[in-house]
Amino acid sequence: MTAVTTERGTVERGTVLEARGLTRRFGGLVAVNDVSFDVREGEIFGLIGPNGAGKTTLFNLMTGLTPPSSGTLAYRGQKVTGLAPHRIAALGISRTFQNIRLFRALSALENVKIAQHVRTRAGLWAGVFGTSRAEERRVEDQAWALLDLVGLADRAGESAGNFSYGDQRRLEIARALATEPRVLLLDEPAAGMNTAEKGQLTAFIREVRARFDLTVLVIEHHVPLVMDLCDRVAVLNFGQLIAVGDPAAVQRDPKVIEAYLGGE
């Protein structure tokens, strides 16, 4: 059994997210069905499951993009379900999208600058009269630093839509980080990446987690990557949570094996 140890050691840390009975119906379909789990501070929490299991919907519930039919999610004890997405972002939960949703016509730099919105305050008149220069400079520096981090600084002026698939995913991570989150949700960050890139991604996520002191939730289909990266893994099948635990144990769970074999 692999020890559930983060790079910060096995120090006992609190619970960041508590999902209780999260449910979402679309007409007759129950995309997420009575899902409850806890996420601990600082861990990398994997979310796996066959196609259509409800993983993305779960992220949408957690970030306010889709209101739940019932159930709640609490972030550090504060209920976030029912809040608008931008409020949840302001609390410190940020995400990337499975079907990338960058501001395609805007430059990479601008994509990242926009996401600093909740951490800045210049209003209409401050902007028009140029009294927010110091803040603007901070936004600019921060954006460049984040682009550096994901290795896109030399293409800062290009439209996000022109980037390769992998680069767009990296840019989305930079954009998500620009909101200065405490919890980062990554929806299939490795999709469309080759094996070498996937390896780099694992290291990169670890590095980011350490550097920004994050809790990371990651949806990923590629099992070796999940096993390698995650401290704990949850498995969804037909909207239901069928297993949570450390990766090796989950991998041996008969229900999980059944779900994956049955799903093929």
Partner 1 sequence: MGDFLGQYGFLIVTMVQAGLLGLSLYFPLQAGQLSLASPGFYAVGGYVAAILLTNPAFAGWRDALGNGMFPLTWLAAALICGVLGLIVGVPALRLRGIYLALATIAFIEILRVISLNLSITGGAIGIFGIPQAFGFQDRWQYIWLFGPLLILTLLFARQLERSRVGRAFRAIREDELAADAMGVPPTHYKVLAFVIGAVLAGLVGAMSAPFLNTWNAKQGTFDASIAILAFVLIGGSRNIWGPVVGGALLTAVPELLRFLADWRLVINGLVLVVASLYLPQGIVGALGGVRRPPPPRRPPSVPVVVEAPGGGS
Partner 2 sequence: MELSQLIQNLMNGLAIGSVYAIFALGYTLVFSILGIINFAHGAVFTLGAYFTYTLVVGQFENNGLLKGINLFPDGSPFSGNPWLFALATLIGAAVAGLVAVLIERLAFRPMRSRGGDPLLALVSSLGVALVVVNLIQLLVGAEIYNFPSDAYGQVRPALSFHIGEKVVIIRTVQLIIFAVSLVMLALLGYVIGRTRVGKALRAVAENPGTASLLGISVDRFILITFFLSGFLGGLAGTLVGTAFGVAGPYFGVSYGLKGLAVIVLGGLGSIPGAVVGGLVIGLAEAFVPAQYSAYKDAVAFALLFVILLVRPQGLLGRAQIQKV
Ligand X SMILES: Nc1ncnc2c1ncn2[C@@H]1O[C@H](COP(=O)(O)OP(=O)(O)OP(=O)(O)O)[C@@H](O)[C@H]1O
Report the residue from 75, 97, 163, 238 that binds partner 2 according to the rule CB under 8 A. 97
The number of residues making up the chain comes to: 264
Report the residue from 9, 77, 157, 254 that binds partner 1 according to the rule CB under 8 A. 157
Environment class of 147 (CB within 10 Å of its CB; exposed 0-12, middle 13-18, buried 19+) = buried
Transcribe 223-243 into DSSP letters.
HHHHHHH-SEEEEEETTEEEE
CB of 142 to ligand X, least distance (A): 31
Report the residue from 18, 52, 136, 227 that binds ligand X according to the rule CB under 6 A. 52
Q: 126 contacts which partner out of Mg ion, ligand X, partner 1, none, CB within 5 to 8 A by kind?
A: partner 1
Q: 66 contacts which partner out of partner 2, Mg ion, partner 1, none, CB within 5 to 8 A by kind?
A: partner 2
Q: Under 8 Å CB-to-CB from 115, ≥6 apart: which residues?
A: 94, 175, 176, 178, 179
Q: 247 contacts which partner out of partner 2, ligand X, partner 1, none, CB within 5 to 8 A by kind?
A: none
Check binding of 99 to ligand X (CB under 6 A): no
Phi, psi of 245 (to 5 degrees): 160, -165
Of residues 97-136, those binding partner 1 (CB under 8 A)? 97, 101-107, 109-110, 113-115, 117-118, 120, 122-124, 126-130, 132, 135-136
Q: In 27-69, which ranges are E strands? A: 29-40, 44-48
Q: Under 8 Å CB-to-CB from 242, ≥6 apart: which residues?
A: 235, 236, 253, 255, 256, 259
CB of 27 to ligand X, least distance (A): 7
Check binding of 56 to ligand X (CB under 6 A): yes
Q: Closer to ligand X at the Cβ: 191 or 227?
A: 191
3-state SS assignment for residue 148: helix
CB of 41 to partner 1, least distance (A): 22
Spell out, one character per residue from 52 to 71, where the chain touches partner 2: x when CB under 8 A holds, - when not: ----x---x----xx-----
Q: What tokens were used for 76?
A: 């550090």
Check binding of 251 to partner 1 (CB under 8 A): no
Q: Is residue 216 within 8 Å of 45, Cβ to Cβ?
A: yes
CB of 84 to partner 2, least distance (A): 15
Q: Is residue 45 within 8 Å of 184, Cβ to Cβ?
A: no
For residues 111 and 89, what is the distance between their CA atoms, to the nearest angstrom?
A: 16
Binding site for ligand X (CB under 6 A): 26, 29, 31, 49, 51-57, 98
